Structures are given as C-alpha cells and as structure tokens.
A and B are shown apart, each in its own frame.
Chain A
Amino acid sequence: MAGERILVCDDDPQILRALRLVLRSAGYEVLTSATGEDALDRAALAGPHAAIIDLMLPDRPGIEVCRELRSWSEMPIIILSAVNEEETKVAALQSGADDYVTKPFGPGELVARLQAILRRAGRAETEPRIELDGLVIDLAAHSVMLDGEEVRLTPLEFALLRVLAVNRGLLMTHSRLLAEVWGAEYADATPLLRTHIANLRRKLARADGERNFIRTDSGIGYRFAG
C-alpha cells in the first residue's frame, strides 16, 4: 500500500525535513511546500494521494488552503496544528480536512492516521470480517466476539460499532456518526450518541479494564483504535 505521494506543507524547514525522513522511511514519496500557494500549485501539478497541511502558514491560513484544495480534489487531508483547541479542530474539519494531528505528535501517530485515511480512500466497499486485538466483528453475520466469547449488542450498537470499525483509525465526528447510524435528522442528538457509546464501551471492556477500543476526541467525535 505504500508508495503513495504525500504533499507536506509547513513553513518550518525542520518540520519539513523531519517529516520527509519519517514518511520516506514509512515508504511514501514526499513533496514539500513552505507556503500555501506553493502547496496548491504542487497539488495541482503533481497529483499527490494525500496532503498534510500546517494551520499557520506565512501567506494564508492553512484552513483556507484546505478549503481550496477540497473545492476541486477528494484527496485526504490531515491538518497539523500547534493549537490544541476544539474550535480550531472543528474549523479545520469543516473546511474539508479529514483529520488533524496536534503538535507535538509522535511520528508513529501521524503515519497511523495517514494509513487510515489512505485505506479509506482506496477501500473496497465490502469487508466481511474485521479482526482486531482479540475482537472479531463479523459484518455479514452481525456477530461480535471478544476473546472467543460472544458479545450481545442491540441492532443500534452493532450499527455504531460497524461504522466505527470500518473506519478504524479515522476520526468520526458526532454528526457524521449520528447521520450514518440514525439518519441525517439526528445529526444534533449528541447525548443519544454518548449513551450508546457508553453502553458499547461497557460491553467491549475486558475484565482488567485496560483495553479501550473507542477513543474520544473531546467535543468532536470518536475513533476506533486501529
């Protein structure tokens, strides 16, 4: 799956150099830009498979670059941010970004996110069975096994788990989960989602309470560990 071209845009030369190293050693081809304008040019000319864009660029806000890119391309976009604030994250996602990573991040985290969004971009539509760290989700048979024991889920819990697991590693916003599981008219019913996530977590918990399959992005959404 490696070999994809990744466009990285950050005005800090050290970040560009470091990310080039990290992404190359993960098997990707890397294009770098230090300004938003240059990034847009390169995106148009070189046709990268995904873009990683810093929020603070010297010539224009990263959010604007993201929005412009999204206006003509479906390529996955990850936003890099040094500001760990919910509004900033929400604004980035609204401008068309698929995910964000807050500095300082470990390169492992960035590569995992990148892999997740590229996997989604090229994913085959039907995946009959998802296996993950002792958890087996059989999508066709609507059954879930944890460490060899069956987990009994309500239809709604199963639908929620399926959306999360199929998009594992990806940030799923509250409204997106609600729209996919309950329908678009439920997009604001966050308390409802919380109740079901809590139930799902309880049913997927192991005795030691250690493993947490469902991660929370405070105030934004959930992602399935993967």
Chain B
Amino acid sequence: MQSRALSPLLLRSPRPALTLGVLAAAGGTLLATLAIYPLERLAPTDSLGVVYLPTVIIVATYWGSGLGLVTALASGLAYNYFHLPVVGHLSFGDGVDWVSLVAFLVVAATAGVVGSLARARAAEAESRRREADLATEMARLLLGGSRLDAALAAAAQRLAVALNVASAAIELGDVGADERRLAFPLCDRDQIIGTLLLPVTLSTLDRERITGRIVPALQSVLAAALHRAELQAEVVETALLRRSDEMKTAVLRSVSHDLRTPITAIISAATALADDTPEAAEARAVVLEAARRLSRLIEKLLDLSLLQAGTRERRSVPYTIEDVLHEAVAHVRTDSPEQSFRVSLDEDLPPLAGDPAQLERAFANLLENAARYSGGKPVSIRAHGAGERLRVRIVDQGPGIRAGEIDRIFLPFYRSANDAPGHHGSGLGLAIARGFVELGGGRISVESLPGQGTSFVVDLPLAVPTERSVEPAQLELALPRG
C-alpha cells in the first residue's frame, strides 16, 4: 500500500500519455529559452545550454528516447536560434553550436535508456507483487473456508480476474485439455491432485508466467487444502464413531441392568425359601439351578454383544497372569463339584497390559469348556514365558476334538455333535474366549488328539516396560509400618 502512495515519483508502467509528453517538451523548452535571458547577465551565454537539460532528461526518462531526442533537437535549435551568436539565425559554423546540440542528443539518449530500464524493473516488481498478492489470496480462499468446492470456485474466479481472462476453473484430479481450454496439472509429490483450466486464447508469455509462477504456488496451497479437508473428515468420522460407541455402551448397560436385576431377585428369593419338606427342597433346588443357568447364559450373551458391538475404546492396565488365572479358577462354574484345576505358573512371569477383567472371562470360559469335557479328571493350567509372549496352556483329558471340527469350535452357537445328552453348553464360551483374547492382542489356538484330550494355547503380548520398576532388594528395605 505504501508503495502506491509514493507512486507519482516512481517510474511506472505503462508510460504517461504522449500528448502530455509533447506538451511537457514544448513547455519546458520554451521556459528554458525564456529563463536564459535574465541569466545572460550573470553568466556567459555559451555555458547556459545546461538550462535546457532538465527538460530533456525528464522527457527522455518518462516518455522514452524518441521524444527525448526530439526535445534535445528542439532545445539545441532553440538555444542556437535565440541565444547563440548570431542571435535570430540558425548557424552551425562555430564548434560550440555542434557541441551543445550533440551533448543534448547524448543526454536524451542516455536518459531514455536509463528510464526504460527503471521502468522495466518497476514493471517486474509490480507483477511479482501481484503474484504474491494472488498467492496470499488463493491461500486465504482455499485454506480459510469450510467447504473445498466453494473455495475452489472462488479461487478460480479470483485467478480469472488477475489474469484478465474470461473464465478459469480449478478442478480436483487430472482433467484433460479440450478445444476451448488449456489444462495446467497441479501436482503434489508426483501425483496430479488437481487441474487449472484456462482459455486457449492465452498468450505464450502468459502461459510461461502461469507455468513458472502461478502453478507452483497454487499446487502447494491446493495440497495443503486437500490435507486439511482430509483431517477434517477424520475428525468428523472419529466424533461419529465415538457417539455410536457411547450409544452402544449405554444400551448394553441398560440391557444388563434389566436382565440382571430380575435374575438376582429370583436367586435371592429362592434361596430364602423354606425347604422343610422334600418337595419344597426339590422345588427350591430346581428354581435355583434354572435361574443360575439362565444367569450364566445372560452373562454369555452380554459378553458376546459386547464383543460384537465392537466398541473401540480399550482399557489397558498392567496386570499379572497369576491374578487372572486364580480368579478364573475361582469363578468357573462346573457341573461336577469334584472338578479340580491344577495351576502351575513359572516364577517371575513378566507383567502384561490390557483388560484383566475381560481376560478373566476368557479363561473362565476356557476352563468351563475344559471341565465339561474332562469327565471329572483334573484340568491342568500352565503359564510360561515364550519369547515376546506369555503362553498359557489349558489341557484336559477329555475325548478330544475331531479334526473336521477344529475350525468350527470357536464359532458362536456351534456345538459338537459329540456332546453327550445332559451337556448344557451354550455354544458361546469358546467364541467369547477367543473374542476377549484377540481384543487384548493375544492369539488362541487348539491342539487335539481324539481319545487323548485337548490343549488350548493362549499367547498374550507382554506389557511394554513403562511401569515404575523397583528393585526387590530396595523394597525389603522399606520397612513395614505398625
């Protein structure tokens, strides 16, 4: 803005009007001719030719060498005619006459060249400033707005005005040229992200300017705008997913409450029933057993819905496999009260990270399954480190799984054709076990030999060692209080 305020003093492109130049030349020459008369009393006439020079220099600088030379010639002739001896005649006999005329011409030519150079520089600076303004404007339009398509249209319109063309368009992707429009591809890392379309009537000079100056600026702004649009889309998507997660969780909670509350009432009330006759005792046992079975089924269905709802927020806390396995054993409900579980854990098992409550559910289901098929024989549980993983092996001495069935046992509601009557499996336990193990980044597999038993192998990822680790030796130094 400041440079524009100063502009009357600067050489601007294009040149001022020629008429104005002729007037300035005539007026200046006349004034100089008149001004010499009073000066002749102060200085010798021969040295007063310089009085013409300002006019010659100004005209040559502002209107070019052509008019400058004419002015120089006019000044030389006027000086010769009005002031040099013989006054009132044009005479070129004397050396002074020629020297003054030639000097005027040389000055005019030099000033003209200097003027056009300066003017060219100014024109260049002006065009750079416009390009910079244009780039800023493009950035403001493309990065400031909320919708990219509207911003592209506005930017194209602004570009058309700047380039003085009838129409311009910026389109996303690679668009080919046609008979009316030229296509300038806009790239980001060797990939065409958009195309600038301009009328074919553009001059070669303009085309070069667009390829060299406008396209590089425009493509980096467009790349930034596209990146920004992508990020915005991701933010919106994340917000939507979170809302859907919250809704799923709320529904599951409310369903859990509505299902668990009446079951609790049934079990509590049945427990309090008097069982003073064999019939009453039998009825109480039937109600309790049925209610407990229903309760187990509800828990499994809720676990399965939790897995299928696929909420994305995962809890991750440090825990030990020892805690999880002991609780799973304590929680497992088996048909046979004599069922035993042999837990054998290596010492110094590494800590794990994840959701111990979910893993506890996974192991309780695996143990329940193993107990169901073990025929009362003990089920062994062994945990040991295996490289970057911790491996838990649950082995039963049941009838084993037929090779053809192994792929299907983890499917929800799948029940083995071998199931003896009276086995009340829901067909959900193994699906839940696999679901929770995999949710925690683990893997579950099964090895089985018909007639010899089945071994479920669970591999769990170790915790990244971020926990505050304290040396055992130091711990014992911290003496107990009280």
Q: Do A and B come from one complex?
A: yes
Interface positions of A from 167 to 226, Cβ below 8 Å from B: 180-183, 186, 188-192, 194-198, 201-202, 208-210, 212, 214-216, 218-219
Stretch at the interface among A14-22, A43-51, A67-75, A144-152: A14-22
Assuming the A-B contacts A191-B467, A198-B322, are A17 and B265 also in contact, with contact meaning beta carbons closer than 8 angstroms in the complex? Answer: yes
Report B-chain residues with C-beta under 8 Å of the C-beta of A218: 319, 323-324, 327, 356-357, 360
Assuming the A-B contacts A191-B467, A198-B322, are A219 and B356 also in contact, with contact meaning beta carbons closer than 8 angstroms in the complex? Answer: yes
Q: When chains A and B are docked, how far (Å) is the Cα of A197 from the Cα of B342?
A: 19
Report B-chain residues with C-beta under 8 Å of the C-beta of A212: 326, 329-330
Which of A22, A158, A182, A192 counts the most B-chain CB atoms under 10 A from its CB? A192
Q: When chains A and B are docked, how far (Å) is the Cα of A165 from the Cα of B307?
A: 38
Interface positions of B from 266 to 280, Cβ below 8 Å from A: 266-269, 271-272
| Distance to closest chain B CB from A158 (angstroms) | 8
Q: B343 in the interface, Cβ–Cβ < 8 Å?
A: yes
A219 near B475 with CB under 8 A, answer: no
Report A-chain residues with C-beta under 8 Å of the C-beta of B260: 82, 103-104
Report A-chain residues with C-beta under 8 Å of the C-beta of B268: 15, 18-19, 21-22, 107, 110
Q: B479 in the interface, Cβ–Cβ < 8 Å?
A: yes
Q: B427 in the interface, Cβ–Cβ < 8 Å?
A: no
Q: B480 in the interface, Cβ–Cβ < 8 Å?
A: yes
Which of B264, B265, B343, B480 counts the most A-chain CB atoms under 10 A from its CB? B264
Q: When chains A and B are docked, how far (Å) is the Cα of A18 from the Cα of B467?
A: 45
Report A-chain residues with C-beta under 8 Å of the C-beta of B351: 191, 194
Q: B308 in the interface, Cβ–Cβ < 8 Å?
A: no
Which of B261, B318, B322, B340 contacts A201, CB < 8 Å?
B322
| Distance to closest chain A CB from B390 (angstroms) | 14
Binary per-residue interface labels of chain A (72-111) against chain B in the complex, 1 for a CB within 8 Å, 0 otherwise:
0000000000111110000000000000000111111010
Report B-chain residues with C-beta under 8 Å of the C-beta of A110: 268
Report A-chain residues with C-beta under 8 Å of the C-beta of B272: 18, 21-22, 25, 107
Report A-chain residues with C-beta under 8 Å of the C-beta of B482: 159, 180
Q: When chains A and B are docked, how far (Å) is the Cα of A191 from the Cα of B282?
A: 49
B481 near A108 with CB under 8 A, answer: no
Q: B341 in the interface, Cβ–Cβ < 8 Å?
A: yes
Binary per-residue interface labels of chain B (403-428) against chain A in the complex, 1 for a CB within 8 Å, 0 otherwise:
00000000000000000000000000
Q: A143 in the interface, Cβ–Cβ < 8 Å?
A: no
A209 near B264 with CB under 8 A, answer: no
Binary per-residue interface labels of chain B (328-366) against chain A in the complex, 1 for a CB within 8 Å, 0 otherwise:
011000000000111110010001000011001000000
Which of A25, A83, A186, A201 contacts B253, CB < 8 Å?
A83
Which of A15, A84, A108, A180 contacts B357, CB < 8 Å?
A84
A15 near B265 with CB under 8 A, answer: yes
B264 near A105 with CB under 8 A, answer: yes
| Distance to closest chain A CB from B312 (angstroms) | 16
Report A-chain residues with C-beta under 8 Å of the C-beta of B264: 15, 18, 103-105
Q: B317 in the interface, Cβ–Cβ < 8 Å?
A: yes
Which of A12, A106, A180, A210 contacts B261, CB < 8 Å?
A12
| Distance to closest chain A CB from B93 (angstroms) | 113
Report A-chain residues with C-beta under 8 Å of the C-beta of B19: none
Q: In this complex, what residue of A is CB-closest to B261?
A: A12
Binary per-residue interface labels of chain B (440-482) against chain A in the complex, 1 for a CB within 8 Å, 0 otherwise:
0000000000000000000000000001111010011011111
Q: When chains A and B are docked, how far (Å) is the Cα of A208 from the Cα of B338?
A: 13
B357 near A208 with CB under 8 A, answer: no
Q: In this complex, what residue of B is CB-closest to A87?
A: B315
A191 near B469 with CB under 8 A, answer: yes
Q: When chains A and B are docked, how far (Å) is the Cα of A22 from the Cα of B253?
A: 26
Q: When chains A and B are docked, how far (Å) is the Cα of A220 from the Cα of B317?
A: 11
B342 near A209 with CB under 8 A, answer: yes
| Distance to closest chain A CB from B202 (angstroms) | 65
| Distance to closest chain A CB from B353 (angstroms) | 11
Assuming the A-B contacts A82-B257, A83-B253, A209-B344, are A21 and B357 also in contact, with contact meaning beta carbons closer than 8 angstroms in the complex? Answer: no
Assuming the A-B contacts A106-B271, A218-B356, are A186 and B478 also in contact, with contact meaning beta carbons closer than 8 angstroms in the complex? Answer: yes
Interface positions of B from 48 to 71, Cβ below 8 Å from A: none
Q: When chains A and B are docked, how far (Å) is the Cα of A190 from the Cα of B341?
A: 28
Which of B263, B323, B327 contacts A194, CB < 8 Å?
B323
Q: B211 in the interface, Cβ–Cβ < 8 Å?
A: no
Report A-chain residues with C-beta under 8 Å of the C-beta of B271: 22, 106-108
A216 near B481 with CB under 8 A, answer: no
Q: In this complex, what residue of A is CB-closest to B296?
A: A104
A216 near B257 with CB under 8 A, answer: no
Report B-chain residues with C-beta under 8 Å of the C-beta of A83: 253, 256-257
Interface positions of B from 73 to 90, Cβ below 8 Å from A: none
Q: When chains A and B are docked, how far (Å) is the Cα of A104 from the Cα of B482?
A: 39
Q: A156 in the interface, Cβ–Cβ < 8 Å?
A: yes
Q: When chains A and B are docked, how far (Å) is the Cα of A209 from the Cα of B472?
A: 26
Which of A56, A198, A215 contacts B327, CB < 8 Å?
A215
| Distance to closest chain B CB from A79 (angstroms) | 14
B315 near A103 with CB under 8 A, answer: no
Report A-chain residues with C-beta under 8 Å of the C-beta of B266: 18
Report A-chain residues with C-beta under 8 Å of the C-beta of B472: 195
Which of A110, A186, A191 counts the most B-chain CB atoms under 10 A from its CB? A191
Q: In this complex, what residue of A is CB-closest to B469?
A: A191
A18 near B265 with CB under 8 A, answer: yes
| Distance to closest chain B CB from A161 (angstroms) | 11
Q: B262 in the interface, Cβ–Cβ < 8 Å?
A: yes
| Distance to closest chain A CB from B337 (angstroms) | 12
B480 near A181 with CB under 8 A, answer: yes
Q: B167 in the interface, Cβ–Cβ < 8 Å?
A: no
A-B pairs with beta carbons under 8 Å apart, 22 shown: A14-B261, A22-B272, A82-B260, A82-B261, A86-B315, A104-B260, A104-B295, A107-B272, A156-B476, A156-B478, A156-B480, A159-B480, A180-B481, A182-B481, A188-B468, A194-B318, A196-B475, A198-B322, A201-B322, A210-B340, A212-B326, A218-B324
The 5 lowest CB-CB distance pairs between A and B, nearest first, are: A159-B480, A18-B268, A14-B265, A82-B257, A21-B272
